[in-house]
Amino acid sequence: DLSAERARAACRGVGWSEALIADTRFTQDTLDMIAAPDIDVVVEATGHPAAGIRHARAAIAARKHIVMVNVEADVLAGPLLARQAEEAGVVYSLAYGDQPALICEMVDWARTCGFEVVAAGKGTKYLPVFHTSTPETVWHYRGVDPEDARKGGMNAQMFNSFIDGTKSGIEMAAVANATGLEPAPDGLRFPPAPADRLAQILCEKNLHHRGQVEVVSSVERDGTTVPNNLRWGVYVVFAAPNAYTERCFREYGVESDETGTLAALYRPFHLIGLELNVSIFSAALRREATGRPVGFVADVVATAKRDIEAGEMLDGEGGYLVWGKLMPAKDSLAIGGLPIGLAHGIRVTRPVAAGASLTWADVEIDAGDDAYAFRREMEKAFS
Protein backbone atom coordinates (compact mmCIF):
# COMPACT_ATOMS: atom_id res chain seq x y z
CA ASP A 1 0.00 0.00 0.00
CA LEU A 2 1.10 3.59 -0.48
CA SER A 3 0.05 4.33 3.11
CA ALA A 4 1.59 2.63 6.14
CA GLU A 5 -1.60 3.18 8.12
CA ARG A 6 -3.76 1.58 5.45
CA ALA A 7 -1.31 -1.32 5.38
CA ARG A 8 -1.72 -1.80 9.13
CA ALA A 9 -5.49 -1.66 8.78
CA ALA A 10 -5.36 -4.22 5.99
CA CYS A 11 -3.34 -6.57 8.20
CA ARG A 12 -5.94 -6.25 10.94
CA GLY A 13 -8.66 -6.85 8.39
CA VAL A 14 -7.22 -10.23 7.40
CA GLY A 15 -6.86 -11.37 10.99
CA TRP A 16 -3.33 -10.45 12.03
CA SER A 17 -2.86 -10.19 15.78
CA GLU A 18 -1.71 -6.93 17.35
CA ALA A 19 1.46 -8.72 18.44
CA LEU A 20 2.26 -9.71 14.87
CA ILE A 21 1.52 -6.20 13.62
CA ALA A 22 3.77 -4.74 16.31
CA ASP A 23 6.55 -7.10 15.23
CA THR A 24 6.26 -6.02 11.59
CA ARG A 25 8.03 -3.02 10.08
CA PHE A 26 5.76 -0.46 8.44
CA THR A 27 7.31 2.53 6.72
CA GLN A 28 6.46 5.38 4.37
CA ASP A 29 9.98 5.20 2.95
CA THR A 30 9.33 2.56 0.31
CA LEU A 31 12.67 2.85 -1.43
CA ASP A 32 14.55 2.43 1.86
CA MET A 33 12.50 -0.68 2.61
CA ILE A 34 13.20 -2.15 -0.82
CA ALA A 35 16.94 -1.63 -0.31
CA ALA A 36 16.95 -3.29 3.14
CA PRO A 37 19.44 -6.19 3.18
CA ASP A 38 17.00 -8.64 4.79
CA ILE A 39 14.41 -8.25 2.01
CA ASP A 40 14.58 -10.94 -0.69
CA VAL A 41 11.27 -10.49 -2.52
CA VAL A 42 9.32 -7.28 -3.08
CA VAL A 43 5.56 -7.63 -3.59
CA GLU A 44 4.19 -4.61 -5.47
CA ALA A 45 0.48 -4.42 -4.65
CA THR A 46 -0.30 -0.70 -4.70
CA GLY A 47 -2.43 -0.83 -7.86
CA HIS A 48 -0.88 2.51 -8.86
CA PRO A 49 0.83 2.24 -12.27
CA ALA A 50 3.48 4.94 -11.77
CA ALA A 51 4.30 3.77 -8.25
CA GLY A 52 4.49 0.19 -9.47
CA ILE A 53 7.05 1.05 -12.11
CA ARG A 54 9.09 3.09 -9.62
CA HIS A 55 9.08 0.31 -7.02
CA ALA A 56 9.88 -2.42 -9.54
CA ARG A 57 12.83 -0.47 -10.92
CA ALA A 58 14.12 0.11 -7.39
CA ALA A 59 13.79 -3.60 -6.58
CA ILE A 60 15.65 -4.58 -9.74
CA ALA A 61 18.40 -2.05 -9.01
CA ALA A 62 18.72 -3.51 -5.49
CA ARG A 63 18.85 -7.07 -6.94
CA LYS A 64 15.56 -8.08 -5.32
CA HIS A 65 12.95 -10.35 -6.89
CA ILE A 66 9.70 -8.56 -7.73
CA VAL A 67 6.19 -10.07 -7.64
CA MET A 68 3.95 -7.70 -9.57
CA VAL A 69 0.45 -7.89 -8.13
CA ASN A 70 0.06 -4.46 -9.72
CA VAL A 71 -1.10 -5.68 -13.13
CA GLU A 72 -1.81 -2.08 -14.18
CA ALA A 73 1.92 -1.31 -13.97
CA ASP A 74 2.77 -4.61 -15.65
CA VAL A 75 0.63 -3.81 -18.69
CA LEU A 76 1.94 -0.26 -18.85
CA ALA A 77 5.63 -1.24 -18.91
CA GLY A 78 6.08 -4.85 -17.77
CA PRO A 79 7.92 -6.14 -20.85
CA LEU A 80 10.78 -3.70 -20.25
CA LEU A 81 10.76 -4.29 -16.49
CA ALA A 82 10.99 -8.05 -17.06
CA ARG A 83 13.87 -7.59 -19.49
CA GLN A 84 15.76 -5.41 -17.02
CA ALA A 85 15.11 -7.90 -14.21
CA GLU A 86 16.53 -10.72 -16.31
CA GLU A 87 19.61 -8.64 -17.09
CA ALA A 88 20.03 -8.01 -13.35
CA GLY A 89 19.68 -11.71 -12.53
CA VAL A 90 16.45 -11.40 -10.56
CA VAL A 91 12.92 -12.71 -11.03
CA TYR A 92 10.08 -10.53 -12.27
CA SER A 93 6.82 -12.41 -11.79
CA LEU A 94 3.09 -12.09 -12.21
CA ALA A 95 1.12 -12.83 -9.04
CA TYR A 96 -0.23 -16.34 -8.56
CA GLY A 97 -3.85 -16.26 -7.44
CA ASP A 98 -4.67 -13.43 -9.80
CA GLN A 99 -6.16 -14.67 -13.04
CA PRO A 100 -3.30 -13.78 -15.43
CA ALA A 101 -0.77 -16.00 -13.65
CA LEU A 102 -3.27 -18.86 -13.39
CA ILE A 103 -4.01 -18.59 -17.11
CA CYS A 104 -0.29 -18.58 -17.88
CA GLU A 105 0.06 -21.78 -15.86
CA MET A 106 -2.69 -23.43 -17.93
CA VAL A 107 -1.11 -22.29 -21.18
CA ASP A 108 2.26 -23.68 -20.06
CA TRP A 109 0.58 -26.97 -19.16
CA ALA A 110 -1.11 -27.28 -22.54
CA ARG A 111 2.01 -26.41 -24.53
CA THR A 112 4.20 -28.72 -22.45
CA CYS A 113 1.77 -31.56 -23.22
CA GLY A 114 2.15 -30.83 -26.93
CA PHE A 115 -1.27 -29.23 -27.44
CA GLU A 116 -1.85 -26.13 -29.55
CA VAL A 117 -3.48 -23.39 -27.47
CA VAL A 118 -6.51 -22.15 -29.39
CA ALA A 119 -7.82 -19.70 -26.78
CA ALA A 120 -7.19 -18.81 -23.16
CA GLY A 121 -8.70 -16.37 -20.74
CA LYS A 122 -11.13 -15.90 -17.91
CA GLY A 123 -14.77 -15.25 -17.11
CA THR A 124 -16.57 -12.10 -16.01
CA LYS A 125 -20.00 -10.53 -15.94
CA TYR A 126 -20.40 -8.49 -19.13
CA LEU A 127 -23.02 -6.53 -21.04
CA PRO A 128 -22.20 -3.98 -23.76
CA VAL A 129 -23.73 -1.15 -21.72
CA PHE A 130 -21.11 -1.73 -19.02
CA HIS A 131 -18.49 0.13 -21.10
CA THR A 132 -20.18 3.41 -20.17
CA SER A 133 -20.57 2.56 -16.48
CA THR A 134 -19.38 5.13 -13.94
CA PRO A 135 -18.83 5.04 -10.18
CA GLU A 136 -22.47 6.13 -9.86
CA THR A 137 -23.86 3.12 -11.75
CA VAL A 138 -21.42 0.42 -10.69
CA TRP A 139 -23.39 -0.99 -7.74
CA HIS A 140 -26.53 -1.37 -9.84
CA TYR A 141 -24.63 -3.31 -12.50
CA ARG A 142 -22.81 -5.45 -9.94
CA GLY A 143 -26.01 -6.17 -8.04
CA VAL A 144 -24.69 -4.66 -4.80
CA ASP A 145 -26.72 -2.49 -2.43
CA PRO A 146 -25.02 0.95 -2.32
CA GLU A 147 -25.36 1.10 1.46
CA ASP A 148 -23.70 -2.30 1.84
CA ALA A 149 -20.90 -1.06 -0.41
CA ARG A 150 -20.47 2.04 1.74
CA LYS A 151 -20.41 0.03 4.98
CA GLY A 152 -17.91 -2.37 3.48
CA GLY A 153 -15.58 0.43 2.43
CA MET A 154 -15.82 -0.65 -1.21
CA ASN A 155 -14.16 1.78 -3.62
CA ALA A 156 -16.69 2.56 -6.37
CA GLN A 157 -14.11 3.60 -8.97
CA MET A 158 -11.94 0.55 -8.37
CA PHE A 159 -14.90 -1.83 -8.63
CA ASN A 160 -16.13 0.02 -11.70
CA SER A 161 -12.90 -0.83 -13.51
CA PHE A 162 -14.02 -4.47 -13.33
CA ILE A 163 -17.49 -3.67 -14.64
CA ASP A 164 -16.60 -1.31 -17.50
CA GLY A 165 -14.26 -3.81 -19.16
CA THR A 166 -10.99 -2.14 -18.23
CA LYS A 167 -9.77 -4.80 -15.83
CA SER A 168 -10.58 -7.57 -18.29
CA GLY A 169 -8.56 -5.76 -20.94
CA ILE A 170 -5.64 -5.24 -18.57
CA GLU A 171 -5.57 -8.85 -17.42
CA MET A 172 -5.78 -10.22 -20.95
CA ALA A 173 -2.99 -7.89 -22.06
CA ALA A 174 -0.84 -9.31 -19.26
CA VAL A 175 -1.61 -12.84 -20.48
CA ALA A 176 -0.88 -11.92 -24.10
CA ASN A 177 2.45 -10.34 -23.21
CA ALA A 178 3.42 -13.37 -21.12
CA THR A 179 2.32 -16.11 -23.54
CA GLY A 180 2.40 -14.63 -27.03
CA LEU A 181 -1.31 -15.25 -27.50
CA GLU A 182 -2.86 -12.29 -29.30
CA PRO A 183 -6.11 -10.36 -28.91
CA ALA A 184 -8.56 -9.90 -31.75
CA PRO A 185 -8.03 -6.58 -33.58
CA ASP A 186 -11.40 -5.29 -32.34
CA GLY A 187 -10.66 -6.21 -28.73
CA LEU A 188 -12.51 -8.54 -26.42
CA ARG A 189 -15.83 -9.95 -27.59
CA PHE A 190 -17.06 -11.45 -24.27
CA PRO A 191 -19.07 -14.36 -25.71
CA PRO A 192 -21.47 -15.96 -23.20
CA ALA A 193 -20.23 -19.48 -22.47
CA PRO A 194 -20.93 -22.20 -19.90
CA ALA A 195 -17.80 -23.82 -18.53
CA ASP A 196 -18.71 -27.19 -20.03
CA ARG A 197 -19.11 -25.72 -23.55
CA LEU A 198 -15.91 -23.71 -23.83
CA ALA A 199 -14.48 -25.94 -26.56
CA GLN A 200 -17.69 -25.72 -28.58
CA ILE A 201 -18.01 -21.94 -28.33
CA LEU A 202 -14.36 -20.86 -28.46
CA CYS A 203 -13.65 -22.69 -31.68
CA GLU A 204 -12.19 -21.41 -34.92
CA LYS A 205 -15.50 -20.27 -36.42
CA ASN A 206 -16.17 -18.00 -33.42
CA LEU A 207 -12.64 -16.63 -32.95
CA HIS A 208 -10.74 -14.10 -35.01
CA HIS A 209 -7.73 -16.43 -35.00
CA ARG A 210 -6.31 -19.47 -33.26
CA GLY A 211 -4.12 -18.52 -30.33
CA GLN A 212 -6.40 -15.76 -29.00
CA VAL A 213 -6.99 -14.29 -25.56
CA GLU A 214 -10.69 -13.92 -24.80
CA VAL A 215 -13.02 -13.30 -21.86
CA VAL A 216 -16.30 -15.19 -21.60
CA SER A 217 -19.41 -13.64 -20.08
CA SER A 218 -21.41 -15.12 -17.23
CA VAL A 219 -24.61 -13.57 -18.61
CA GLU A 220 -26.38 -13.64 -21.95
CA ARG A 221 -26.86 -10.36 -23.81
CA ASP A 222 -30.39 -10.14 -22.38
CA GLY A 223 -28.94 -10.27 -18.86
CA THR A 224 -29.99 -13.82 -17.99
CA THR A 225 -27.42 -15.89 -16.14
CA VAL A 226 -25.44 -18.46 -18.10
CA PRO A 227 -25.74 -21.82 -16.30
CA ASN A 228 -22.47 -23.29 -15.02
CA ASN A 229 -20.74 -20.02 -15.89
CA LEU A 230 -17.09 -19.17 -15.34
CA ARG A 231 -17.51 -15.70 -13.81
CA TRP A 232 -14.69 -16.16 -11.29
CA GLY A 233 -12.59 -18.69 -13.17
CA VAL A 234 -9.99 -19.20 -15.89
CA TYR A 235 -9.69 -21.56 -18.85
CA VAL A 236 -7.63 -22.80 -21.78
CA VAL A 237 -8.96 -24.33 -25.00
CA PHE A 238 -6.48 -26.62 -26.74
CA ALA A 239 -6.29 -28.76 -29.87
CA ALA A 240 -5.33 -32.38 -30.32
CA PRO A 241 -2.26 -32.63 -32.58
CA ASN A 242 -3.22 -35.96 -34.16
CA ALA A 243 -5.81 -38.74 -34.43
CA TYR A 244 -4.28 -40.67 -31.54
CA THR A 245 -4.81 -37.72 -29.18
CA GLU A 246 -8.38 -37.30 -30.43
CA ARG A 247 -9.01 -40.95 -29.57
CA CYS A 248 -7.54 -40.36 -26.11
CA PHE A 249 -9.97 -37.47 -25.64
CA ARG A 250 -12.86 -39.83 -26.39
CA GLU A 251 -11.56 -42.70 -24.27
CA TYR A 252 -10.97 -40.52 -21.22
CA GLY A 253 -14.29 -38.70 -21.40
CA VAL A 254 -12.87 -35.32 -22.35
CA GLU A 255 -15.53 -32.75 -23.31
CA SER A 256 -14.67 -31.76 -26.88
CA ASP A 257 -16.18 -29.81 -29.75
CA GLU A 258 -18.21 -31.47 -32.51
CA THR A 259 -15.03 -32.27 -34.47
CA GLY A 260 -13.47 -34.06 -31.51
CA THR A 261 -10.27 -32.05 -31.90
CA LEU A 262 -10.76 -29.25 -29.35
CA ALA A 263 -11.01 -29.62 -25.59
CA ALA A 264 -10.94 -27.27 -22.63
CA LEU A 265 -9.55 -27.22 -19.12
CA TYR A 266 -10.91 -24.73 -16.64
CA ARG A 267 -10.64 -23.71 -13.03
CA PRO A 268 -13.89 -22.29 -11.62
CA PHE A 269 -12.38 -19.84 -9.12
CA HIS A 270 -9.28 -17.90 -8.15
CA LEU A 271 -8.29 -16.97 -4.61
CA ILE A 272 -6.26 -13.82 -5.30
CA GLY A 273 -4.01 -13.00 -2.32
CA LEU A 274 -4.63 -16.32 -0.61
CA GLU A 275 -2.47 -17.96 -3.29
CA LEU A 276 0.21 -15.28 -3.55
CA ASN A 277 2.77 -17.26 -1.54
CA VAL A 278 3.19 -19.53 -4.56
CA SER A 279 4.80 -16.63 -6.43
CA ILE A 280 6.86 -15.46 -3.47
CA PHE A 281 8.39 -18.86 -2.74
CA SER A 282 8.77 -19.69 -6.43
CA ALA A 283 10.86 -16.54 -6.89
CA ALA A 284 12.86 -16.91 -3.67
CA LEU A 285 13.51 -20.67 -3.70
CA ARG A 286 13.24 -21.75 -7.34
CA ARG A 287 14.13 -18.44 -8.99
CA GLU A 288 11.15 -19.03 -11.27
CA ALA A 289 8.36 -16.66 -12.26
CA THR A 290 4.72 -17.66 -12.17
CA GLY A 291 4.27 -15.94 -15.51
CA ARG A 292 6.26 -12.99 -16.87
CA PRO A 293 6.10 -10.73 -19.93
CA VAL A 294 8.21 -11.97 -22.83
CA GLY A 295 7.11 -9.39 -25.39
CA PHE A 296 4.88 -6.41 -26.09
CA VAL A 297 1.96 -8.20 -27.74
CA ALA A 298 -1.09 -6.37 -26.40
CA ASP A 299 -1.94 -2.96 -25.00
CA VAL A 300 -4.88 -1.33 -23.24
CA VAL A 301 -5.84 2.07 -24.64
CA ALA A 302 -8.01 4.73 -23.00
CA THR A 303 -11.34 4.90 -24.85
CA ALA A 304 -14.02 7.57 -24.39
CA LYS A 305 -17.17 6.58 -22.49
CA ARG A 306 -18.89 9.74 -23.72
CA ASP A 307 -18.01 12.78 -25.78
CA ILE A 308 -15.06 14.46 -24.06
CA GLU A 309 -14.49 18.18 -24.45
CA ALA A 310 -11.17 19.96 -24.69
CA GLY A 311 -10.02 21.01 -21.23
CA GLU A 312 -11.54 18.10 -19.31
CA MET A 313 -9.26 16.17 -16.95
CA LEU A 314 -9.09 12.41 -17.37
CA ASP A 315 -9.90 10.47 -14.21
CA GLY A 316 -8.32 7.09 -14.97
CA GLU A 317 -9.58 3.53 -15.02
CA GLY A 318 -13.00 2.96 -13.55
CA GLY A 319 -13.83 6.66 -13.70
CA TYR A 320 -16.37 8.75 -15.57
CA LEU A 321 -14.58 9.49 -18.84
CA VAL A 322 -12.62 6.51 -20.19
CA TRP A 323 -12.41 2.74 -20.11
CA GLY A 324 -9.49 0.57 -21.20
CA LYS A 325 -9.85 -1.24 -24.53
CA LEU A 326 -7.63 -4.21 -25.34
CA MET A 327 -5.91 -4.12 -28.72
CA PRO A 328 -2.83 -5.60 -30.39
CA ALA A 329 0.26 -3.64 -29.37
CA LYS A 330 1.16 -2.99 -33.00
CA ASP A 331 -2.20 -1.29 -33.52
CA SER A 332 -1.77 0.80 -30.38
CA LEU A 333 1.67 1.91 -31.53
CA ALA A 334 0.34 2.71 -35.00
CA ILE A 335 -2.28 5.14 -33.68
CA GLY A 336 -0.17 6.45 -30.80
CA GLY A 337 -2.69 5.09 -28.31
CA LEU A 338 -2.82 6.59 -24.83
CA PRO A 339 -2.35 3.72 -22.34
CA ILE A 340 -5.05 3.52 -19.70
CA GLY A 341 -2.35 3.42 -17.02
CA LEU A 342 -1.42 7.04 -17.78
CA ALA A 343 -4.95 8.36 -18.39
CA HIS A 344 -5.32 9.99 -14.99
CA GLY A 345 -4.90 13.62 -14.00
CA ILE A 346 -4.05 14.80 -17.51
CA ARG A 347 -5.90 17.36 -19.60
CA VAL A 348 -7.60 16.63 -22.92
CA THR A 349 -6.54 19.16 -25.55
CA ARG A 350 -9.17 18.56 -28.23
CA PRO A 351 -12.64 16.99 -28.46
CA VAL A 352 -12.83 13.20 -28.47
CA ALA A 353 -16.00 11.44 -29.60
CA ALA A 354 -17.64 8.72 -27.51
CA GLY A 355 -16.20 5.34 -28.44
CA ALA A 356 -12.96 6.74 -29.86
CA SER A 357 -9.61 5.65 -28.48
CA LEU A 358 -7.48 8.51 -27.19
CA THR A 359 -3.96 9.15 -28.48
CA TRP A 360 -0.91 10.99 -27.21
CA ALA A 361 -1.97 13.86 -29.49
CA ASP A 362 -5.28 14.23 -27.62
CA VAL A 363 -3.75 15.06 -24.24
CA GLU A 364 -1.34 17.37 -22.50
CA ILE A 365 1.22 15.23 -20.73
CA ASP A 366 4.36 16.02 -18.77
CA ALA A 367 7.24 14.70 -20.86
CA GLY A 368 9.40 14.71 -17.73
CA ASP A 369 7.14 12.30 -15.86
CA ASP A 370 9.12 9.16 -14.98
CA ALA A 371 6.30 6.72 -15.77
CA TYR A 372 5.64 8.39 -19.12
CA ALA A 373 9.34 8.35 -20.00
CA PHE A 374 9.71 4.68 -19.06
CA ARG A 375 6.62 3.72 -21.06
CA ARG A 376 7.97 5.52 -24.12
CA GLU A 377 11.29 3.76 -23.63
CA MET A 378 9.44 0.44 -23.61
CA GLU A 379 7.58 1.32 -26.81
CA LYS A 380 10.88 2.09 -28.51
CA ALA A 381 12.51 -1.09 -27.20
CA PHE A 382 9.71 -3.37 -28.43
CA SER A 383 8.54 -1.63 -31.60
Q: How confident is the model at residue 157 (pLDDT cuts 50, 70, 90)?
A: very high
| pTM, to two decimals | 0.95
Q: Mean pLDDT across the stretch 192-219?
A: 96
Q: How confident is the model at residue 2 (pLDDT cuts 50, 70, 90)?
A: confident
- Could you give the CA distance from residue 377 to residue 355 in angstroms, rounded to a whole number? 28
Which CATH number is associated with domain 298-382? 3.90.1210.10
Which of 13-17, 115-119, 170-174 has the lowest average pLDDT?
13-17
* pLDDT at site 153: 83
Q: Mean pLDDT across the stretch 94-100?
A: 98
Give 258-264's long-range contacts (Cβ < 8 A, gap of 24+): 258/200, 259/203, 262/118, 262/199, 262/200, 262/203, 262/237, 262/238, 263/199, 263/237, 263/238, 264/198, 264/199, 264/202, 264/235, 264/236, 264/237, 264/238
Which CATH number is associated with domain 99-126+165-270? 3.30.360
| Residue-wise pLDDT tens digits, 227-260 | 999 999 999 999 999 999 999 999 999 989 999 9
Pick the CATH number of 4-97+275-286 from 3.30.540.10, 3.40.50.720, 3.30.70.3270, 3.40.50.970: 3.40.50.720
Where are the chain's structural domains? 4-97+275-286, 99-126+165-270, 298-382
Residues 6+ away with beta carbon under 8 Å from 260: 240, 246, 249, 250
Q: How confident is the model at residue 314 (pLDDT cuts 50, 70, 90)?
A: very high
pLDDT at 130 over 90: yes
- Could you give the CA distance from residue 78 to residue 55 in angstroms, rounded to a whole number? 12
Report CA 24 to chain centroid distance, whole Å: 30
